[in-house]
């Protein structure tokens, strides 16, 4: 039993691909999984470290602006297609799985032409261009957000599965987590983070808000600055005349290794709106204040956020509108209306897909 998995460029494509690859190995013990990516994407570093056989093909995307770069796209696409076709014919997989990124184009298309069953997964509410094209030929298409279906061909075999999340996120116990983090029974724990590298706008807003939040005993704030922005955040606090050690209800860390426990303990999350983050938020049933990254491709994070907002699970603040005073006002509103938080929590949990990986593997099993 052999499978090819492909997805590249960013972690948003690579980590779901690796989750599916591991899911295949669990469902089909003894199977072999080959990963196809590019030399230029993060997958060239991440995938070999994850223990999977890794091969590269050429893959380039069309720039949306007028560029000499676009002149070489047809040649590179044809070369990548031939390389992918050669790998597939030599490996003879039972199915090819794609999770997005330019590399999926030649790989999934080559599999389709060789009559190998194909499966693609779209993480975002606004599908990427590659997956929009491939959805016309794939045997199965899985999506994280129901909203993304409106951007795909009506005849595409689309299934709403959600996005795989880490088992620790689902299994963390709230009461145990709050005790571990020192959160009292009636305190509102606000968890703020901007990803592993942090988010400058969010860090600025939190730094500006701490003086006011420190005076609200019912609120406890856990802020994750991101590894690359911790020192900068501390400098911001100094400019505000603050020291974290003097703020009893404020905890600031550069990176949160115990993120499953932090999410289990939280009453409200303030974060960006990446697909993986929202999958974890909803599987825990957490209310959220979302600040989409404004420079994400196609502004897809705003589409992701609106998918939760429209269903009552979150509120949205644009990056340009976020400030310390905005953050304090929002937190005070939530603190004053706990019923609103409960309603958002129910709506969030309704969107959660704790069995996403099993559902995805079921669809792949169907096509083979």
Mean pLDDT of 223-239: 92
Global confidence as pTM: 0.92
Let me know whether 196 and 320 are in one domain. Answer: yes
Mean pLDDT of 324-338: 96
Q: What are 139's two structure tokens? A: 């045997």
Residue identified by tokens 């009552």 is 312
User: Of all residues in the chain, what percent carry a pLDDT higher than 70?
Assistant: 95
Ramachandran assignment for 250, one of left (phi > 0), alpha (psi -120 to 50 degrees), beta (any other): beta
Let me know whether 199 and 152 are in one domain. Answer: no
Mean pLDDT of 298-322: 97
Give every CB contact of residue 159 below 8 A, 6+ residues apart in sequence: 140, 141, 142, 143, 359, 363
Let me know whether 58 and 96 are in one domain. Answer: yes
338: number of Cβ within 10 Å: 12
pLDDT at position 227 is 86
* Least confident window among 67-71, 308-312, 328-332: 67-71
Q: How far apart are CA 153 and CA 18, in angstroms?
A: 27
pLDDT at position 205 is 96
Let me know whether 176 and 104 are in one domain. Answer: no
Strand partners, 34: 4, 53
Let me know whether 199 and 289 are in one domain. Answer: yes
Provide the domain limits for residue 262. Answer: 168-351
The mean predicted confidence, pLDDT, of the chain is 93
Report residue 64's pLDDT band, with 50, 70 and 90 as the boundaries. low
Let me know whether 217 and 343 are in one domain. Answer: yes
Let me know whether 84 and 214 are in one domain. Answer: no
Q: Is 141 helix (H, G, I), strand (E, B) or coil?
A: strand
In angstroms, the first-to-last Cα distance of the chain is: 10
Evaluate whether 103 touches 36 at the Cβ level (below 8 Å): yes
| Sheet with 288-290, side-by-side order of all strands | 250-253, 219-224, 188-193, 268-271, 288-290, 314-316
Q: What are 106's two structure tokens? A: 């030649």
pLDDT at position 70 is 53
Chain CA centroid to CA 11, Å: 8
pLDDT at position 182 is 94
Let me know whether 130 and 189 are in one domain. Answer: no
Question: What stretch of H or E contains 188?
Answer: strand 188-193
Q: How far apart are CA 313 and CA 329, in angstroms?
A: 19
Residue among 133, 50, 26 at smallest CA distance from 35: 50
- H helices of the chain, in order, are 11-27, 43-49, 73-91, 104-113, 129-134, 167-171, 174-181, 200-213, 230-239, 259-265, 275-283, 300-309, 324-336, 338-351, 356-367
Convert the pLDDT of each residue in 255-286 to its tens digit. Answer: 999 999 999 999 999 999 999 999 999 999 99
Let me know whether 119 and 11 are in one domain. Answer: yes
DSSP of 226-286: -GGGHHHHHHHHHHTT--GGG-TTEEEES--TTHHHHHHH-SEEEE---HHHHHHHHHTT-
Chain CA centroid to CA 100, Å: 13
Residues in the chain, how many?
Answer: 368
Q: What is the CATH number of the domain that holds 230?
A: 3.40.50.2000
- When divided into structural domains, the chain yields a total of 2
Convert the pLDDT of each residue in 122-177 to its tens digit. Answer: 999 999 989 999 999 999 999 999 999 999 999 999 999 999 999 999 999 999 99
Residue identified by tokens 């003879």 is 92
Let me know whether 172 and 244 are in one domain. Answer: yes
> Is pLDDT above 80 for 68?
no
> Is pLDDT above 90 for 246?
no
Mean pLDDT of 77-96: 95
Mean pLDDT of 91-96: 98
Residue among 359, 367, 298, 361 at smallest CA distance from 108: 367
Residue identified by tokens 């701490």 is 210
Let me know whether 303 and 208 are in one domain. Answer: yes
Report residue 233's pLDDT band, with 50, 70 and 90 as the boundaries. very high
Phi, psi of 304 (to 5 degrees): -60, -50
Let me know whether 213 and 341 are in one domain. Answer: yes
Convert the pLDDT of each residue in 3-43 to its tens digit. Answer: 999 999 888 899 999 999 999 999 999 999 999 999 988 89
Residue among 194, 246, 200 at smallest CA distance from 223: 194
pLDDT at position 197 is 65
């Amino acid at each position: 039993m052999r499978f090819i998995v492909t997805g590249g460029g960013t972690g948003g494509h690579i980590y779901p691909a690796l989750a599916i690859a591991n899911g295949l190995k669990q469902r089909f013990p003894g199977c072999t999984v080959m990963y196809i990516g590019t030399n230029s994407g993060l997958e060239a570093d991440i995938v070999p470290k994850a223990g999977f056989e890794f091969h590269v093909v050429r893959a380039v995307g069309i720039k949306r602006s007028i560029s000499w770069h676009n002149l070489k796209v047809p040649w590179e696409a044809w070369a990548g297609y031939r390389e992918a076709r050669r790998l597939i014919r030599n490996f003879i997989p039972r199915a090819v799985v794609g999770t997005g990124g330019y590399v999926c184009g030649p790989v999934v298309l080559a599999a389709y032409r060789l009559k190998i069953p194909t499966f693609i997964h779209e993480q975002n509410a606004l599908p990427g261009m590659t997956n929009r094209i491939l959805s016309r030929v794939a045997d199965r298409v899985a999506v994280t957000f129901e909203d993304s279906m409106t951007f795909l061909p009506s005849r595409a075999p689309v299934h709403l599965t959600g996005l795989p999340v880490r088992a620790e996120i689902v299994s963390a116990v709230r009461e145990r987590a709050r005790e571990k983090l020192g959160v009292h029974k009636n305190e509102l724990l606000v968890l703020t983070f901007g990803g592993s590298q942090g988010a400058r706008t969010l860090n600025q807003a939190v730094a500006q808000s701490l003086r006011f939040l420190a005076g609200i005993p019912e609120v406890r704030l856990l802020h994750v600055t991101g590894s690359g922005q911790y020192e900068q955040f501390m400098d911001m606090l100094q400019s505000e005349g603050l020291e974290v050690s003097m703020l009893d209800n404020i905890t600031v860390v550069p990176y949160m290794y115990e993120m499953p426990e932090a999410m289990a303990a939280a009453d409200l999350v303030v974060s960006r709106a990446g697909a993986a983050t929202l999958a974890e938020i909803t599987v825990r049933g957490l209310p959220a204040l979302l600040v989409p990254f404004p420079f994400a491709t196609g502004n897809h994070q705003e589409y992701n956020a609106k998918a939760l907002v429209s269903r009552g699970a979150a509120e949205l603040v644009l990056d340009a509108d976020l400030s310390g005073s905005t953050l304090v006002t929002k937190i005070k509103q939530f603190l004053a209306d706990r019923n609103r938080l409960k309603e958002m929590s129910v709506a969030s949990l309704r969107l959660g897909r704790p069995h996403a990986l099993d559902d995805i593997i079921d669809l792949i099993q169907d096509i083979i």
